[in-house]
Amino acid sequence: MIISFVQTKGGTGKSTLAQCTVFSRALRKRFKSIALVELDAQGTLRNWWDERAEEGRKSEGVSFHHISSTQKEVFQEGIKTIAAHNKLIVMDIPGESTGRLHTRFACAFSDIAVVPMRTTTNDEAAFANNLYPIIRDIITMAPQKKHNFAVLPAFVHPKTSKAKLKAYYEEILPDHVFCLPAVYPARAVYENFNRNGMTVSEYASTVKSNKRQAKQAMAAVKDIEAIAEAIMEKAGKSNGNS
């Protein structure tokens, strides 16, 4: 199975979501081997993974792979090789203002492409003008993929009504792009948890003595578990409709 986090603009939380969900209980209890794949030449996740290794943190069942090539044949062969040794691949796709080669690949080959999106005109315009045309073309060529695309409301105020937010997205999205019943809240912990190669759960264990930080960290852990569960439920329905 392949899960991708895609959006043609940067700053939407794709990398954070990818690195958090691969270590979620929801995914790890379903898959014995998970590959986190970064296609971004900047190497944000690669640097984090290197720090993780230097700190001696355990990552049983999770491996990391960095593919920065923009040559179609190179990363297709890379993904094929990774898929041969892993039950699940989670891909972090770079924001691509031009070309959008990695985005097209992710949308075409993923079992579910998750689109983190804020309720801003910039994010909505990026989706409508850059990402949706790719989705539309793929569905035209492969109608069975019409259930494979889902928006995840991102940088949401923690007290925002999820039901109202979901209703908002369902009103503005095309019929075959769904809104997940989960949100990625705006929390300061997401800016700090990954120092020294930590996962959000590992970070939570280091701040237990600070009630305020511990509360924020545990809320983030619950966020990620809810997102991972929603993705798996959507992926299951997508496969059932294929």
| Residue 242 banded pLDDT, cuts 50, 70, 90 | very low
Coil, strand or helix: which one is 91? strand
* SS3 state of residue 31: coil
Q: State the Rg of the chain over Cα.
A: 17
| DSSP 8-state secondary structure symbol assigned to residue 9 | S
Q: What is the mean pLDDT of the chain?
A: 91
Q: What's the length of the chain?
A: 242
C-alpha 77/C-alpha 73 separation (Å) is 6
Structure tokens given for 229: 């569960």
User: What domains can be seen in the chain, in order of their start residue?
Assistant: 2-241 (3.40.50.300)
CB neighbours of residue 189 within 10 Å: 21
Q: At 241, is the pLDDT very low, low, confident or very high (cuts 50, 70, 90)?
A: very low
Q: Two tokens at 16?
A: 């954070």
Provide the pLDDT for residue 134. 93
pLDDT band for position 219 (cuts 50, 70, 90): very high
Q: What is the pLDDT of residues 108-165, one digit of tens each?
A: 989 999 999 999 998 999 899 999 999 999 999 999 998 899 999 999 998 999 889 9
**Is pLDDT at 45 greater than 60 in this prediction?**
yes
Using CA of residue 226, residue 227, residue 230, residue 236, what is the dihedral sign?
A: negative
The predicted model scores a pTM of: 0.92
Model pLDDT, residue 71: 77
